[in-house]
Structure 1
Amino acid sequence: MSGPVTDAEAPTDVADGSSPEPACVEVSDSREAQVGRFRVRRALPRRGRRTVGAWCFADHLGPADVTENSGLDVGPHPHIGLQTVTWLLDGQVLHRDSLGSEQVIKPGQLNLMTSGGGVTHAEEATGQYRGTLEGIQLWVALPEATRHGASAFEHHAELPQSELDGAVATVLVGDFAGLSSPARHDTPLAGVDLTLHGDTTVPLRPAWEYALVVLEGGVAINGERLAPGTFGYLGEGRDELRLEVRERTQALLLGGEPFSEPIVMWWNFVGRSREEIDAAYTSWQRRDDRFGRLDSPLPRIPAEAPWWHRA
């Protein structure tokens, strides 16, 4: 469910670090985008809000029908400077990458791939599953200290859970409510799946900024309603968040220490300058060794030249 990011969502001529707002409820519509053969609802990035903590991308896919031999159908493509975090609500997806990883992910499990300086992966049909597919993929921007490091992949079949009043919280990445996910994270952050069946108060960290993406159902915060297809930016400065729930709801809470490093996002790359993006694009076009090798039944995804070369 990876990318690509367009200039409309993350202008490459502006590479500011995160600018968190005081506690607020800013509700905006997600943007429709094409990933593989499916339409997705892209909540992040957006003009004026590139990151929430180090979270820099959120695509909500489905529900959509897949077969044993036709799924997301996202062929081999490259990444730099980020982690991909894949979480399914329904269905199965096969992840394959240039590290040799081959892993089917199911609901309640987590796939996390760290690109480091360069990796290639594909998201394919499993060869076995037929039915409904729905999920979300997120990107985490890597900090300067690790973004040029080695690539890696990890799969977690079990994740820590916390019972809240009116909800079950599953900690995908980072730290929340005294629990820590086993998944790698290189900056202070949290990604939490909230399964809500009643009004709930969620503990937060005042020094972090947060956002909420509703996947099913709906919630209200201070009278502002969030439904699937919307993105709720919540700012920083809260020690708790009250969610009003009138129907069974599943939502993703994203938060973290504001990410102060400037970033440039283009296609499937997170860098610090256009020059870095150019170098990654050139490596992909030349098929050199930077991104490794991946044999896949799906075609390799080509990239047009960055827009600043076409202008």
Structure 2
Amino acid sequence: MSNLEVDPVVEDCVPGPRVAVEVITAREVPLGGPRAMPVRRTLPQRQRSLIGAWCFIDHYGPDDVSATGGMDVAPHPHTGLATVSWLFSGEVEHRDAAGVHAMVRPGEINLMTAGAGISHSEVSTPDTTVLHGAQLWLALPDAVRTGDRAFHHHAPEAVAVDGGSLRVFLGSLAGSTSPVPTATPLVGAELVVDPGATVVLDVDSAFEHGVLVDSGVITVEGEALDRAELGYVGVGADRIAVENSGDEPGRVLVLGGEPFGEEIIMWWNFVGRTHDEIAAYREEWEAAADRFGTVEGYVGPKPRIPAPTLPTTTLRPRVNPDPRARPRGAES
């Protein structure tokens, strides 16, 4: 179509950010109940509930275990999700109802698939002095969410990228691929950015991504992010630039995936599809039903975590916003 104005206005085109970035700020919550270790949670929030299949992001530490008491999460249930544990320092002992007894160590992924139901415990080990890491969940699609339990462990090698290094623990990025299977297309990686450097990652444009800041003076596509903030980049971007202008190495987690495309209800430790389904999971957990099994070997102040009371209103799916970023000042 032609512009038919007789006296068109001259406009200066000012370069702006190549990719829009939406900032998601963490809220602090106690892990395992009141007076427990505090964690910083960026997902889920009213602003956004999912990034790909990633439905839960907790970032914690570095915590002096002698002062905080560390992590001691008694047996608790899960359905319809997979847990992803990733540490920067310290060590956590994992036990689950499938009989898995494993350690979570820095730079090693432990992925537990709950399927139709499982219970597990997480306890920082006596040798841990500083505990620091992230606990993440993945929503399982309807086709597999009531399937079998599973557990996978992988220690990815660090690969050099221009301006830093990368450990890919799920999916593929920068030519590195994790062997850990996932139920939906996604990516998870730890990126360390050298002081004063910028790392430009070529990413899948069909994915939406989140960049979670752990340390450093970080900007994502020119948007400054504080520690524990998450920079959301929507679908359509084929690269993401992460800059560290500090004089120490910076570290972020890069999490992404294809938009999930299914409505979910996430309440407490359950992911389901209807209120009645969630209510049934809660009832089964309180009744110590076979669905969740028994965690053997856990020794703690209480044998299991009781379920909270369901709200009096009907639980409904939270509709996730359009998978495109809403920059600061543009949120509706």
Aligned counterpart for 1:193 among listed residues 190, 193, 198: 190
1:130 corresponds to which residue? 128
Counterpart of 1:284? 285
Q: Is this contact kept in 2: 1:119–1:292, CA < 8 A?
A: yes
Verify the 8 A CA contact 2:275 2:314 in the aligned structure 1.
no
Q: Distance in 1 between matches of 2:286 and 2:102?
A: 27
How many Å apart are 1:160 and its aligned residue? 4.3
Partners of 2:24 and 2:103 in 1: CA distance: 33
Alpha-carbon offset, residue 125 of structure 1: 3.1
CA RMSD, aligned part only?
1.9
Report the number of matched residues: 287
Equivalent residue number for residue 301 of structure 1: 305
Q: Deviations over 1:176-234 (max 9, x none)?
A: 22322121211000011101102110111111111110011131134311121212111
> SS of 2:285's equivalent?
helix
State yes or no: 1:31 paired with 2:27: yes
* Identity fraction in percent: 43
The separation in 1 between residues aligned to 2:19 and 2:55, in whole angstroms, is 19
- The question of whether the paired residues in 2 share the 8 Å contact of 1:83 and 1:141 is answered with yes
Task: Determine the structure 2 residue equivalent to 1:141.
Answer: 139
Establish whether residue 176 from structure 1 lines up as the match of residue 173 from structure 2.
Answer: yes
Larger radius of gyration: 2
After superposing on structure 2, the runs of 4+ consecutive aligned residues of structure 1 that deviate more than 6 Å are none
- What letter corresponds to residue 299 of structure 2 in structure 1? P
The answer on whether the counterparts of 2:63 and 2:131 sit within 8 Å (CA) in structure 1 is yes
Contact 2:43 2:56 in 1 (8 A): yes
Structure 1 CA distance for aligned equivalents of residues 119 and 238 of structure 2: 39
For 2:256 and 2:39, the matched residues in 1 are separated by 22
Name the TM-score, length of structure 1 as normaliser: 0.88
How far apart in 2 are the matches of 1:254 and 1:123?
Answer: 23
Q: What do the CA deviations read for 1:123-142 (whole angstroms, capped 9, x no partner)?
A: 0132x413100000110000
Q: Paired residue for 2:328? A: none
For normalisation by structure 2, the TM-score amounts to 0.82
Q: Deviations over 1:90-112 (max 9, x none)?
A: 11110111111111111111111
* Per-residue Cα deviation, 1:157-189 (whole angstroms, up to 9, x for no partner): x21443211121111111222322121211000
Structure of higher RCO (CA pairs closer than 8 Å, 6+ residues apart): 1
**One-letter code of the match for 2:145?**
R
Counterpart of 2:269 in structure 1 is 268
Decide which structure has greater strand share: 1
Gaps of at least 5 residues in structure 1 are: 1-21
State whether residues 160 and 180 of structure 1, in contact with CA within 8 Å, keep that contact through their aligned partners in structure 2.
no
